[in-house]
A and B are shown apart, each in its own frame.
Chain A
Amino acid sequence: MNVEKEMDGVEVKKSCCFFCHQNCGVLAYVKDDKVLRIEGDPDHPTNSGGLCCRGNIALLHLDHPARVNYPLKRKGARGAGEWERITWDHALTEIATRLGNIKEHYGAEAVATAGGTLRTDDWARRRFMNLFGSPNGFHNSHLCWVPTFLIETAISGWCPFETDLGGGSRCLVQWGHNPGASGMPEMRGITELKRQGMKLIVIDPKFTETAAKADLWLPLRPGSDAALALAWLHVIIYEGLYDQQFVENWTVGFDRLTQHVAQYTPEWAATLTWLDPELIRQGARMYAQNKPGNIQWGVALDQSGKSAGAGIHARALLRALTGNLDAPGSDLMTGPSKDFITDEEIEANDWLPEEQRAKQIGSDRFKLTTWPGYKEIADLTREVWGKAPTAEWMCEAHPPSVFRAILTEKPYPVKALLVSATNPVNSYGNAKEVLEALRKVDFLVTCEYWLTPTAMLSDYVLPIGGALERPVITSTYGCSDTIIGSQRAIQPMYERKLDYDFWRGLGLKLGQGDMWPWETVEEAYYYRIYNLGYGVSSFDEFVETQRFHFPEREYYRYGQIGFATPSRKVELYSTTLEKLGYPPMPTYISPAENEVDDPELAQEYPLVLTTAGGFMPYHHSEHFQIKELRFLRHEPYFDINPVTAAEYGIKDGDWAWVETRRGRIRQKANVTEAIAPRVVMTQRGWWYPERDATEPELSRCLESNANVLTATDDAFCDPQGGSWANRGLLCKVYKAQNGQGKADN
């Protein structure tokens, strides 16, 4: 389309992509509230004009024929697909009435909410829940950064998530992170720095897009990260590679740690990680001797289940030992923003009474990521930084336990589930149990773009505006001191509204009127950025004239304020974790299922499974209905080594079953040298929007769904943070006869 020809009245809006949470800048050419075309914003600090596959299909997503455009109320049986179109006001009134009744009979805690990834204004959801009185909001956050954030904050007073690559990094460790498939802008930065001599270490069972560019690739056994991290600690301490000055001046517990990790030799780790001891040493040396260096966060450790906390803890100490904290080029602790209103400050957490906090599901067991641990850590950060981390994400109910509460009414009944921006049957662990809970819960409301299997089971479905239809604040889950603003290109199409409008609207119906002074999300954003002092009169004006707020980077801030821990130093022996009842020093925990502890299980399930990470062009369980992306990967694939495939008579492209103790799924075999002979790697997220969406088919949401294989019983969960096991499970693989076969549902 030649926009120039019709430039009259065309406005260029500084919008952003909304198909993952990097929020790459997008310029939208808009006329008469219609987006004529989009392109990557060449001046945006994140993407400099680039857009990935997903970013390019924004206009197809915007008005896709399968989008939900009007509020829907269920008419027939659950999952029958019979809907009545109603107004927003009508829907909110009925939902509010129902929630009010549930609160009266069962208590506010009987209302839970499930969220997705960072694709919402979930501070508003938190605010609603706090005002309503329920502590039972949750996300998949246990699998995504939150245990890492909290353990690192317990140890060093803030999570050092800001990898200062541009500050002169000489070594980058990508630990279970593949930006080559999931973080395109990051990957460009890595390529540039590698050309300037930065070393790249990739720790990943698979020879990924990123591993292909690495100086050193450590293909460890899935789920054995804790053993590798502990062995690195051993090497760095016992080979004297640590930063003596930093350790002496700014840490406590070094002697105890030295003694503690004596047992974790590379030889000990070799049998657990399947890596040669020399390769383990080589990695530790490369990281410790090329300073400054970075360990970028990746989800792999968060997703390891019971060994997650141990691995995260050990990895966190590597930075402290090498002094790679807050030094130029290392991993920086930005702390919360002093300048703008953070997510936490707008969540109304003080409104949730102590007695309701105590009822948070999972807080009796997984203390780190629920009120007990969060409060401990937040109090410390308030003392030093003046503010606390976001409570949404960092302090939530334990999702598998909430699904089980729906099924068992233990510890008490959960009667309503409000779902926003997630399709739990595909995104949460142990999918069969999740599906059962979704079918059983008394009252189910879903805010969505699409009629997902979860939406199909709902009593109400609310149509939500997506990319180009919403303004966005990007600030690393509200935990960074930087902010990037993007404006909406157009008002939501049809009768779509934003998730903010949903929570606020529901709040107004339930008597929370005083607490929702901002009619639109832009008004709320303006309130948040007002103190930045740019003299703008609206959020849109901030975007148009500033776009971002990046305070000048100050290094070594701990020199002035100390670390936000009880000792004000980095705690190699963590008193905070100890107080919560967890090991003060990282202590080896074996992978969720493994051949060492359970050789009998390994006889029946001889292969090691990881349910893996992102792959282009999808994001989590999204985009399978967009044929302009689906053509790249029509069908789900799992990776299997040629040796193993031959052993089981599986050829490239064959449909095969992958089975764990929880169930089995069908994916096609990608026979590849990229993984070790004993490893199987499945793709995540898959459901089939082109199939029958009604019960019992539900778009065959279990058939190829990797979460049928994952494990969420308490025994599989990390005792600290409650992460369930997506990695390091035992499985078997066999060919699907004639390519057919019925899945477990």
Chain B
Amino acid sequence: MARYAMVIDTRRCIGCHSCTVACRTHNHLPVEMIYNPVMTIGPTGKFPSLHLSHLPLLCMHCANPPCVDGCPTRASQQREDGVVFIDQNKCISCKTCIMSCPYGARKANHETGTVQKCDFCRDRLAEEKLPHCVATCHQKARIFGDLDDPTSEVYKLVNTEKVTRIHEELGTEAHVFYIVS
């Protein structure tokens, strides 16, 4: 069984927001719903000694997802391959999961009356295609694959580069890894 994960190489990211637009457009989300915003940090410092970086975000597909634990209807689920998703037929939009997610990854869709979030493009995975945000990235800053497969790019990066995870201290075991420098 695969264990899906993403590595985000922030050294490559230029903050173009293509991933954000690709995700929302191809997943047909309302205009105010964003699964994967890109935060721009800076420029920091004083002219002309400056630094600029970008931080692409998304659902962290935690190994220990607080959102799944807290869901009263079992709409929030985790697949064996690690993908955390919401069964839209079971979601009653109680928003418990929104409160429990430390990453702010979940959004209420006012058109469908449910909570939604990034599911690593499950429909694309079924077609053996990459998630939209990964496929669209000109800079190849988002790398997706099977962390259990030693030949995969994500396996290599996680095991050879200095990677970090957001809110490591919470023990969520996020499966989105960042290369910062």
Q: Do residues A207 and B25 form an inter-chain contact, with CB atoms below 8 A?
A: no
Of the candidate stretches A45-53, A83-91, A147-155, A284-292, the one touching chain B is A45-53
Q: Do residues A52 and B139 form an inter-chain contact, with CB atoms below 8 A?
A: no
Q: Do residues B43 and A674 form an inter-chain contact, with CB atoms below 8 A?
A: yes
- Answer yes or no: A185 CB below 8 A from chain B CBs: yes
Q: How does the 8 Å CB contact mask read for A36-70 relative to B, with 1 for contact and 0 for none?
A: 01011010000101111101110110000000000
Q: Do residues A628 and B138 form an inter-chain contact, with CB atoms below 8 A?
A: no
- CA gap between A210 and B13 in the complex, in Å: 11
User: A56-B136, A217-B48 in contact; A631/B43 too (CB < 8 A)?
Assistant: no
User: A191-B12, A677-B47 in contact; A39/B18 too (CB < 8 A)?
Assistant: no
- CA gap between A51 and B19 in the complex, in Å: 9
User: A56-B18, A60-B25 in contact; A184/B43 too (CB < 8 A)?
Assistant: no
12 additional A-B pairs beyond A39-B135, A628-B24, A674-B50, beta carbons within 8 Å, are A40-B135, A42-B135, A53-B16, A57-B21, A191-B139, A207-B43, A627-B31, A631-B32, A632-B20, A641-B47, A673-B45, A673-B47
Interface residues of B in 15-31 (CB under 8 A from A): 15-18, 20-22, 24-26, 31
Contact of B138 among A50, A217, A674 (CB under 8 A): A50
- Of A40, A42, A60, A673, most buried by chain B (CB within 10 Å of CB) is A673
Smallest Cβ distance from A191 to chain B, in angstroms?
5
- Answer yes or no: B90 CB below 8 A from chain A CBs: no
- Of A53, A213, A675, most buried by chain B (CB within 10 Å of CB) is A53
Complex interface: chain A residues within 8 A of B79 (CB) = none
Q: Do residues A676 and B47 form an inter-chain contact, with CB atoms below 8 A?
A: yes
Q: Do residues A209 and B15 form an inter-chain contact, with CB atoms below 8 A?
A: yes
Contact of A209 among B14, B22, B50, B136 (CB under 8 A): B14
- Of B52, B53, B123, most buried by chain A (CB within 10 Å of CB) is B52
- Answer yes or no: B158 CB below 8 A from chain A CBs: no
Complex interface: chain B residues within 8 A of A508 (CB) = none
- Answer yes or no: B137 CB below 8 A from chain A CBs: yes
Complex interface: chain A residues within 8 A of B20 (CB) = 53, 632
Contact of A52 among B18, B32, B45, B47 (CB under 8 A): B18
Q: Do residues A51 and B31 form an inter-chain contact, with CB atoms below 8 A?
A: no
Q: Do residues B50 and A51 form an inter-chain contact, with CB atoms below 8 A?
A: no
- CA gap between A60 and B28 in the complex, in Å: 11
- Answer yes or no: A362 CB below 8 A from chain B CBs: no
Contact of A632 among B14, B21, B52, B136 (CB under 8 A): B21
- Answer yes or no: A241 CB below 8 A from chain B CBs: no
Q: Do residues A188 and B136 form an inter-chain contact, with CB atoms below 8 A?
A: no
Interface residues of B in 34-55 (CB under 8 A from A): 43-48, 50-53
Interface residues of B in 92-141 (CB under 8 A from A): 123, 127, 135-140
Q: Do residues A673 and B43 form an inter-chain contact, with CB atoms below 8 A?
A: yes
Complex interface: chain B residues within 8 A of A328 (CB) = none
Complex interface: chain A residues within 8 A of B51 (CB) = 212
Smallest Cβ distance from B47 to chain A, in angstroms?
5
Q: Could you list 20 examples of A-B contacts with CB < 8 Å?
A: A42-B135, A52-B16, A53-B17, A53-B20, A55-B18, A56-B18, A56-B22, A57-B25, A184-B138, A184-B139, A187-B139, A209-B16, A628-B25, A632-B17, A632-B21, A641-B47, A673-B44, A673-B45, A674-B50, A676-B47
Complex interface: chain B residues within 8 A of A672 (CB) = 43
- Answer yes or no: A249 CB below 8 A from chain B CBs: no
Q: How does the 8 Å CB contact mask read for A655-684 relative to B, with 1 for contact and 0 for none?
A: 000000000000000001111110000000
- Answer yes or no: A4 CB below 8 A from chain B CBs: yes
Q: Do residues B52 and A209 form an inter-chain contact, with CB atoms below 8 A?
A: yes
Number of B residues, CB within 8 Å of A: 33
- CA gap between A50 and B32 in the complex, in Å: 24
B28 to chain A: closest residue by CB? A1
B interface, by DSSP: helix, strand, loop or mixed? Answer: mixed
Interface residues of A in 483-507 (CB under 8 A from B): none
B15 to chain A: closest residue by CB? A209
- Answer yes or no: A180 CB below 8 A from chain B CBs: yes
Q: Do residues B52 and A631 form an inter-chain contact, with CB atoms below 8 A?
A: no
Complex interface: chain B residues within 8 A of A213 (CB) = 14
Complex interface: chain A residues within 8 A of B32 (CB) = 631
Q: Do residues A675 and B47 form an inter-chain contact, with CB atoms below 8 A?
A: yes
- Answer yes or no: A352 CB below 8 A from chain B CBs: no
- CA gap between A109 and B52 in the complex, in Å: 52
Complex interface: chain B residues within 8 A of A210 (CB) = 14
Contact of B17 among A47, A60, A217, A616 (CB under 8 A): A616
User: A180-B14, A188-B140, A207-B43 in contact; A676/B48 too (CB < 8 A)?
Assistant: yes
Q: How does the 8 Å CB contact mask read for A151-192 relative to B, with 1 for contact and 0 for none?
A: 000000000000000000000000000001100110110010
Smallest Cβ distance from A678 to chain B, in angstroms?
11
User: A57-B25, A187-B138 in contact; A50/B43 too (CB < 8 A)?
Assistant: no
Complex interface: chain A residues within 8 A of B45 (CB) = 673
Contact of A56 among B21, B46, B53, B127 (CB under 8 A): B21
Smallest Cβ distance from B25 to chain A, in angstroms?
5
B136 to chain A: closest residue by CB? A51
A632 to chain B: closest residue by CB? B17
Complex interface: chain A residues within 8 A of B22 (CB) = 51, 56
- Answer yes or no: A20 CB below 8 A from chain B CBs: no
Interface residues of A in 625-645 (CB under 8 A from B): 627-629, 631-632, 641
B25 to chain A: closest residue by CB? A56
A206 to chain B: closest residue by CB? B43
B40 to chain A: closest residue by CB? A209
B47 to chain A: closest residue by CB? A673
- CA gap between A354 and B140 in the complex, in Å: 53
Q: Do residues A212 and B16 form an inter-chain contact, with CB atoms below 8 A?
A: no
Complex interface: chain A residues within 8 A of B44 (CB) = 673
- Answer yes or no: A135 CB below 8 A from chain B CBs: no
- CA gap between A59 and B139 in the complex, in Å: 23
Q: Do residues B123 and A188 form an inter-chain contact, with CB atoms below 8 A?
A: no
User: A617-B17, A631-B31, A673-B43 in contact; A212/B52 too (CB < 8 A)?
Assistant: yes
B44 to chain A: closest residue by CB? A673
- Answer yes or no: A219 CB below 8 A from chain B CBs: yes
- CA gap between A181 and B16 in the complex, in Å: 7
In order of increasing CB-CB distance, the 4 nearest A-B pairs are A50-B138, A184-B138, A212-B52, A53-B21
- CA gap between A691 and B82 in the complex, in Å: 47
- CA gap between A210 and B45 in the complex, in Å: 17
Q: Do residues A617 and B21 form an inter-chain contact, with CB atoms below 8 A?
A: yes
User: A191-B12, A207-B50 in contact; A56/B43 too (CB < 8 A)?
Assistant: no
Q: Do residues A50 and B137 form an inter-chain contact, with CB atoms below 8 A?
A: yes
- Of B43, B53, B140, most buried by chain A (CB within 10 Å of CB) is B43
Complex interface: chain A residues within 8 A of B138 (CB) = 47, 50-52, 184-185, 187-188
- Answer yes or no: A545 CB below 8 A from chain B CBs: no
Q: Do residues A629 and B47 form an inter-chain contact, with CB atoms below 8 A?
A: no
- CA gap between A57 and B44 in the complex, in Å: 32
Smallest Cβ distance from A1 to chain B, in angstroms?
8
Complex interface: chain B residues within 8 A of A641 (CB) = 47
- CA gap between A49 and B137 in the complex, in Å: 8
Q: Do residues A187 and B52 form an inter-chain contact, with CB atoms below 8 A?
A: no
Complex interface: chain B residues within 8 A of A191 (CB) = 11-12, 139
- CA gap between A357 and B28 in the complex, in Å: 53
- Answer yes or no: A2 CB below 8 A from chain B CBs: yes
Q: How does the 8 Å CB contact mask read for A1-22 relative to B, with 1 for contact and 0 for none?
A: 0101000000000000000000
Complex interface: chain B residues within 8 A of A42 (CB) = 135
Q: How does the 8 Å CB contact mask read for A538-565 relative to B, with 1 for contact and 0 for none?
A: 0000000000000000000000000000
Smallest Cβ distance from B49 to chain A, in angstroms?
9
Q: Do residues B12 and A629 form an inter-chain contact, with CB atoms below 8 A?
A: no
Contact of A2 among B46, B47, B123 (CB under 8 A): B123
Smallest Cβ distance from B40 to chain A, in angstroms?
9
Smallest Cβ distance from A683 to chain B, in angstroms?
16
Q: Do residues B136 and A187 form an inter-chain contact, with CB atoms below 8 A?
A: no
Smallest Cβ distance from B109 to chain A, in angstroms?
16
Complex interface: chain B residues within 8 A of A60 (CB) = 25
A191 to chain B: closest residue by CB? B12
Q: Do residues A49 and B135 form an inter-chain contact, with CB atoms below 8 A?
A: yes
